[in-house]
Amino acid sequence: MNNEFTRVLSLKSEKALNFFLKTNQYKNIELPVYFSFDPILNYVKEKIGDKVYKDCLKEGAQPEQLDRLNYDLLLNKDGHYATRPVMMANPYLYYFLSRELCREENWAALQELFKKLRTPHIKVCSMPVVPKPNEKFYQSTTILNWWQQMEQQSIELSLEYRYMFITDITDCYGSIRLHSFDEAFALWGTKFEKTASPLAATIRELLHVMNHGRNVGIPQGSALFDFLSEIILGYADLMLHEAVEQAGITAKFKVLRYRDDYRIFCNDRQQLEQISFLLQEVLAKLNFNINSKKTKLSESIVTDAIKPDKLDLIYDLPLLRGQKYGDFHSYEKALYFILLFARKHPNSGQARKLLTDLNNSLTEYIKEQKKRNAEYEELTKSDLFDFDTETEDAEAVEATDETKAQTAATDSPKTEIKAQIKKKEEPQVAEAIRIPGGSIRAMVAIATQIALENVSIAQYTLPLMKQLINCLGDKQLEEQCKLYSLVYEKLHTLHNADYLLIWLQNLTYTLDAATGNTTRYESPLCKLVMNEMSDPVWDCSWLLPELSEELPYDKIVNRKVLKAMTKVVHITQPNQYDEADEPVLSEEVIRRLSEEDNATDPIEDWHMHALRACEEIDPIEEILDKCTQEDSCKDCRSALPENIFNMLKKYDK
């Protein structure tokens, strides 16, 4: 097991700033891959540079009073009233805050501060980690870090300790007082107490503006805010350590903390309970409250170390990995299983993983069926079937059993298909794929119900829906369009579901583009996708015009990646924490497509058809390699495999 992670705090100041100014650090929610905020953040960095914040303001401007200062999303958790606010901060305010944190002298001060916040008994597992090169799926490094540092270590500690106290903080980010930054930087009330830091005042000022003038709460939704929360929570760690020392607790103990999630290990139950009450007192001083619903003292560390949804799945898993489409032999029954499992563990990681695994299984099944259909078409065109039926039957009678066995072993697919033809059975046609289970409409209906009851992970039902609907084939385009519309009508009326609608647009985009339906979605990001944005994503009217009037909104959506990816909804999740399925488009391909946006000789639409039709990554990368040459179009055609080339002839008119 590879336990090595590069944490942001170990970076030099310049690299730390570059880390925070990347798309997946700017927002930590998963969006379709055609969204990129790098062009926006790079533009702001170039425009602002080292300019002082107040010098960039219009006279009399009060940005904290603007309703649309940031792009705020409410993530609906249950389809009803449970929500989690996520902010895509105004890129200018985000840059000002990142820049001040990462100034060389300030970054050095932060590194020194965190050294003082380290304690011998408390291990912090949640300091933001730098993604490994070419991450196989979204935030895989962060997930792997949590699994190894929190879950696996908890299990390992069961060898040393008998008891484990589990708790977390209710509304942690929303409860942080901005003045707590002054206390944390000054290490107030600890043996390291010192004078207040000017950096603390700067953080407080910018968060006050970003938070619409409120002095309580910090935003959620980026690695930057996760990092800021670690300052306050690390301060709480130090206070807990000193409180335990002052209480005279002598029992051996260990604390694992991942953000606001605490696990305390000890062999002395009485002293463990004493530590838990000290933790409650320390947190109360910082305006935090323990979540009583998630608090317990466990004597079964091995099982309680992992989440209940994962434990239930391990206990009773009818969908065995490695099989074609599970023990149910029906995709409809498999969907029912996921629906029932998700009702017990709504919006859980394991429900998300079951959806992903089923989608991967469906992908493989469809590939096999397409291959079989292609073999059938090829065989029917060959001389193999130009035979006299009576002669063939006579020869078969004379064949020995051994010959029949050899033929069956070496040519079973051909034999089976030939038998179908002789029986005048109609095999599957290339235009449509039959899926084991009920009707396509019924299976889409179950997937839609899963989405309705699990809004936070609803996007993981969309790849399944898209594949199922596409299996109807071109001869049933009317039914395809009807199903897309029915899914949309069922899901778009959910309250506080803007995040879901961003993904839902990924499902309906091809249909919307073909029909000219540009008004189906109202959120700013969705309007950007359809080139129909009337209002900017962020209100930047508080800035001097020369700094904000040319903000490149048109670069947020990468048109080439959009065209390539809307054929299949692109979501990837790991089969194991340290390995993942390859995405439909590799990170390298997406990078090259992004670079082509600014190329003098951009990739033609013809190439997009190649990207959408070709299932193999290598030929796609060959195309892109050839596009760097002068005579790109001719070379690209010659680089394509013959079957793909023939498939694309219709687009080359």
pLDDT level of residue 544 (50, 70, 90 thresholds): very high
Q: What is the pLDDT of residue 146?
A: 85
Residues 241 and 192: their CA atoms lie apart, in Å, by: 13
SS3 456: helix
- Decide: 136 and 579 in contact? Cβ < 8 Å: yes
Rounded mean pLDDT, 190-197:
93
| Rg, C-alpha atoms of the chain | 29
> Does the pLDDT of residue 390 top 60, yes or no?
no
Rounded mean pLDDT, 474-496:
87
651 or 344: which leads in pLDDT = 344
CA-based nearest residue to 434, from 374, 359, 369: 369
Rounded mean pLDDT, 135-139:
65
Q: What are the structure tokens assigned to 176, written together?
A: 């942080």
Q: How far is CA 224 from CA 110, 112, 509, in A?
A: 14, 18, 32
pLDDT level of residue 372 (50, 70, 90 thresholds): confident
The per-residue pLDDT for range 64-114, each reduced to its tens digit, is 999 999 999 888 766 666 778 899 999 999 999 999 999 999 999 999 999
Burial class (CB in 10 A: 0-12, 13-18, 19+), 52: exposed
Residue 41: CB atoms within 10 A of its CB come to 22
pLDDT level of residue 134 (50, 70, 90 thresholds): low
φ, ψ for residue 5, nearest 5 deg? -130, 140
The per-residue pLDDT for range 444-479, each reduced to its tens digit, is 999 999 999 998 888 899 989 999 998 998 778 889
How many angstroms separate the most distant Cα atoms in the chain?
102
Q: What is the pLDDT of residue 565?
A: 64
- Could you say which DSSP state residue 461 is in? G
Rounded mean pLDDT, 574-590:
42
SS3 content of the chain, % helix, strand, coil (to 5): 55, 10, 35
Residues 56 and 67: their CA atoms lie apart, in Å, by: 20
According to DSSP, the residues that pair with 189 across neighbouring strands are: none
The per-residue pLDDT for range 205-260, each reduced to its tens digit, is 999 999 999 999 999 999 999 999 999 999 999 999 999 999 999 999 999 999 99
> Does the pLDDT of residue 419 top 50, yes or no?
yes
CA atoms within 13 A on the CB side of 97: 26
Rounded mean pLDDT, 29-47:
94
Q: What are the structure tokens assigned to 344, written together?
A: 């017990």
pLDDT level of residue 343 (50, 70, 90 thresholds): very high
Rounded mean pLDDT, 278-307:
95
- Decide: 179 and 204 in contact? Cβ < 8 Å: yes
565 or 150: which leads in pLDDT = 150
Backbone angle region of 212, left / alpha / beta, with phi > 0 → left and psi within -120 to 50 → alpha? left
Q: What is the pLDDT of residue 107?
A: 98
- Could you say which DSSP state residue 7 is in? B
**329-343, 392-406, 597-611, range with the lowest pLDDT:** 597-611
Rounded mean pLDDT, 334-359:
91
Q: What is the pLDDT of residue 59?
A: 94
Mean of pLDDT over the chain: 80
The per-residue pLDDT for range 256-273, each reduced to its tens digit, is 999 999 999 999 999 999
φ, ψ for residue 421, nearest 5 deg? -65, -45
